[in-house]
A = this chain, B = another copy of it.
């Protein structure tokens, strides 16, 4: 049996662990052969392949990124895209395909499965916002990186009596902000699920300074003010040379707080360092197991499914379940954390 594999969307620590787990078990237990498709769906569209055997996966467990490369190519937006994929799978003798990716990649996989392609999915999102699984790999790594940054910023906040705003990933769901903020002892956490009240935020900042401590605010990149108009769109924050820094919500929030409270405020935008580098033990464990179970599903011919973590077990759920709705932070979880603010 020959199995194709691809990785789509943004990179995530653990992608290589999935690939390695599937290949090692596929080769040694089932006698499978593998075809690596480059750069997400672009690979099977353009028949761009690489060798994917035991040697190719040696030493990649601790490495971030993906040896297969990635892209955001959508075959349904391309003329004859589906046919080209089917043809190239056939040309490579692939009886099955493992698609590792997020909402977009798994959405394509779901449609291809409906069109008769033998697909097994592996859910991937650094934001942890895919349904059907307790956690996705990469998330724990991102949370730890963000937490370590918050740990580092505490001393600067205290030493300079400054507000520090830390912008973390999370466009539609606040999981990284919630977990990293909780773990880092942030004083305020703002997430997309809860439009924030800038007046209340400023009141919390002032109350924190009143007790002689400096506040750290963790904000998801997708967090928004409750009343969009109440915050100025353009940041007035200046860099070392007097250039205006105009930015995302982190910069805008710091600027707004500084203007309203008179307290010095600075933003730190963690950006790409959250998604690169070596995965944590949790992510290597989860991703490796996802790979092992995905190839087992292939072996058993259980297509149209994706692997998922439930408690400590890896289970299979319909591919469509992962993407049918966004997994957002439930109000009670946020309120649980809110007790620790201030």
Contacts and interface: CB of A to CB of B under 8 A. Distances in A.
Contact of A179 (B160, B276, B285): B285
Contacts of A323: none
Number of copies: 4
A62 interface: yes
Nearest to A330: B312
A240 B222 CA distance: 8
Given A155-B276, A239-B248, A281-B147, A28 B339 contact: yes
Contacts of A110: none
Contact of A281 (B28, B143, B247): B143
A152 B185 CA distance: 20
A65 B311 contact: no
Contacts of A134: 311-312
Contacts of A244: 246
Given A149-B273, A244-B246, A247-B246, A339 B159 contact: no
A239 B268 contact: no
A300 interface: no
Given A159-B69, A161-B69, A273-B153, A340 B288 contact: yes
A193 interface: no
Given A154-B276, A282-B140, A185 B24 contact: no
B144 A281 contact: yes
Contacts of A273: 149, 152-153, 268, 270
A181 to B, nearest CB: 10
Nearest to A252: B243
Contacts of A15: 159
B247 A155 contact: no
A277 B268 CA distance: 14
A32 interface: no
Chain A residues touching B, range: 35 or more
Contacts of A292: 336, 339-340
A307 B150 CA distance: 28
A206 interface: no
A71 B251 CA distance: 23
A274 to B, nearest CB: 9
Contacts of A281: 140, 143-144, 146-147, 179-180, 183
Interface string A305-342: 00000111000000000000000000000001001101
B182 A288 contact: yes
A272 B171 CA distance: 23
**A-B pairs with lowest CB-CB distance, top 9:** A65-B155, A152-B277, A246-B246, A152-B276, A64-B155, A65-B159, A183-B284, A183-B281, A11-B159
Interface of A: 10-11, 15, 21, 24-25, 28-29, 39, 61-66, 69-71, 134-135, 140, 143-149, 151-156, 158-161, 164, 171, 179-180, 182-183, 185, 221-222, 233, 239-241, 243-248, 251, 266-273, 275-278, 280-282, 284-285, 288-289, 292, 310-312, 336, 339-340, 342
